[in-house]
Structure 1
Amino acid sequence: MQATTAGAVQEIEVKYHVSDEAALLRALDERGVVLSEPVRQDDQAYAPAGWRYGVSKIGVPFARLRTQDGMHLFTVKQPIDNEMACLEHETTVADREQMHAALTTMGYVPTVRIVKSRRSGRWDDAALCLDTVDGLGTFVELEAMVGADMSGLDVQYRLDRLVHSLGVPVQRTTDTYDSLIRDAGELARGA
C-alpha cells in the first residue's frame, strides 16, 4: 500500500554558505528584499530509531521540534527528490517536553540540536532566510512551497539561478543543518 500525498505540500530549498554577509545584504537590498529582525530558533532534530547518518534520507520521515519566541513548532519532513525537497507537515504544540516524550515513545531518537539566529523575508515567490548557525557560520536559504506533484529538482534549479543572480560569492550545500552540525562535530573530534 502506497502512502497518499493528497493535499500534501513540498518544501523545496536551496542553501548556501555565505562568506561575505555584507555583500549579500547589499545585493538583497538592491532587489528590494526586506529582512525581519533576527529571531532565535532552538531546534531539536529527530530520526527514526533504525536510521543512521550516511544512509539515504530519501523516503524517511524526520521530525523537528523548534522553539522560537516561546512558541513550539512540530515539523515532519520526508525527503522526496533529495534532502532539500521534502513533503512537509507542521503544527504548533503546547508542550515541547511532552512532544519530545511522544516522539521517543513512537521510536524517534534525538540526533542533533541546531541553534541559530534567523532573519527572514520574501523574494519573488520564495521565502528567504539568512541564518547564523551556532558552530557553522552564515547561510542563505531560498524556499518555495509547492504541490506534491511538482518536480523539486526543477524548483531547485529556478531558486539556484535566482541566488546566483545576486553576483555574490556563495557556496551551495545540499546538506541539511543537522548533517552539517554532525559532520562539524565529527571533524572536531578527529573521526
Structure 2
Amino acid sequence: MVREIEAKYRVKDVEALLVVLKSHGLRIGDPVHQDDQAYAQPGWDYGMPKTGVVFARLRTTDDGRHLFTVKKPVSGEMDCIEHETVVTDREQMHDAIVEMGFRPTVRIVKTRRSGSLGSVSVCVDEVEHAGAFVEVEMTVGDDRDGMAAQAELDKVVRAWGVDVERTTDTYDSLVRAATATA
C-alpha cells in the first residue's frame, strides 16, 4: 500500500517563498499548467467526511499528458492511499469514470512548480479561484502514523521562516468554497 502524506499552506508572497526555497538548496522546476477534473464516489457530497471514501481525478498537463488518479483518505484528507497512471484519451477516461458511477465535482486549474528536498516533494501552486499555496509531501509504503508524518512536514516548512498559513482543505474543497461565494 502506497500512501501520499502532505501538508498544505497558503502563501502570501510566492516570490519570497521561491527565494527561501532556493537558499535551502531546492531547485524548483519550470511552471507546469494542470487542468484537473475531480470526481466523487456515489453517495458522497461536500460537507460529508472524506476519510475512507474513494475519489478520482483526471489531470491534463500543458504537454498534453493525461493522468488518472484515485485517492482514498486514510487518517484525514492529507493522508491518502493513491494510485495513478497515464491515460491516452481524456474524454474516454472521463466517460469511463462516469460510467463507474463517479460524478464530476469541481475543476481545479493551477500552475505548479515543483522540486524536492531529500525525500520531501515541494510544490508551489497558483490555483485559480483559491490563491497561492505550497504543498510538502512524502510517499510512504508502511503503516506510518499520518499525523506524525504531517508534523514532520510542518517542521520542514516552519524552518523556512516564511509567512504561511496551514490549511487542511484539499484544492477541490477550496475551489468549490471560493466559487460558491463568487
Same fold (TM over 0.5): yes
1:16 aligns with 2:40: no
1:115 aligns with 2:112: no
Question: What per-residue deviation string (whole Å, max 9, x for no partner) do you get for residues 150-177 of structure 1?
Answer: 1111110000010010101100000000
Partner of 1:3: none
**Contact between 2:87 and 2:93, CA under 8 Å: does it hold in 1?**
yes
**Contact between 2:74 and 2:80, CA under 8 Å: does it hold in 1?**
yes
Partner of 2:147: 153
Q: How many residues align?
A: 181
Question: How much does 1:49 deviate?
Answer: 2.4
**Contact between 1:87 and 1:148, CA under 8 Å: does it hold in 2?**
no
Partner of 1:104: 98
Which of 63, 73, 83 lines up with 2:77 in the alignment? 83
TM-score by length of 2: 0.97
Helix, strand or coil for the counterpart of 1:107? coil
Partner of 2:48: 55
Helix, strand or coil for the counterpart of 1:56? coil
Question: How much does 1:124 deviate?
Answer: 2.5
Unaligned runs of 5+ in 1: 1-7
Question: How much does 1:148 deviate?
Answer: 4.1
Structural RMSD (CA): 0.8
Partner of 1:187: 181
**Contact between 2:129 and 2:179, CA under 8 Å: does it hold in 1?**
no
Amino acid at match of 2:102: Y
1:36 aligns with 2:59: no
Question: How much does 1:136 deviate?
Answer: 1.4
Whole-angstrom distance in 2 between the partners of 1:82 and 1:110: 21
TM-score by length of 1: 0.93
